[in-house]
Amino acid sequence: MTRRAEFLAANGGFRAPTPGFVLLVRKRGDSNPAMRLGLTVSKKVGNSVVRNRMKRRFRELARTILPQAGIAGADHVLIGRQAGIERDFAQLGEELRRALARAAK
């Protein structure tokens, strides 16, 4: 996802807050079963080095977890939080799995 309108639309969907990030999930309602991913980390979290590191970690989490646990035909947005910087990668992965399980219900 790249357009602001897509992120704003996802904001109206299911919201699953975790200590390291907030997961937004919104079913698009079209016939396309592809899962789309959006990442956002604001300047409040840190400087560009920190923000880009968080986004790289989120991309890797999504690459490994979304194919099995993601919702087909939905937009998934990960919003980075300050606590996600020092959080262990395995812990972030477990939080993402739990958040996706809540969103699937």
pLDDT of residue 38: 96
Tally the domains of the chain: 1
Closest by CA to 102, choosing from 14, 33, 10, is 14
Domain extent at residue 9? 4-104
pLDDT of residue 31: 86
Q: Which helix (H) or strand (E) holds 91?
A: helix 89-104
Residue numbers of the chain with a pLDDT score lower than 50: none
pLDDT of residue 96: 96
Calculate ∠ Cα 94-96-101, nearest 5°: 95
How far apart are the two ends of the chain, measured CA to CA in Å? 24
Q: Which helix (H) or strand (E) holds 43?
A: none
pTM of structure = 0.91
Is residue 102 exposed (0-12), middle (13-18) or buried (19+ Cβ within 10 Å)? middle
pLDDT of residue 94: 96
The CATH number of the domain where 18 resides is what?
Answer: 3.30.230.10
Query: Sign of the CA dihedral 60, 56, 101, 24?
Result: negative
Q: Distance between CA atoms of 97 and 68, rounded to whole angstroms?
A: 10
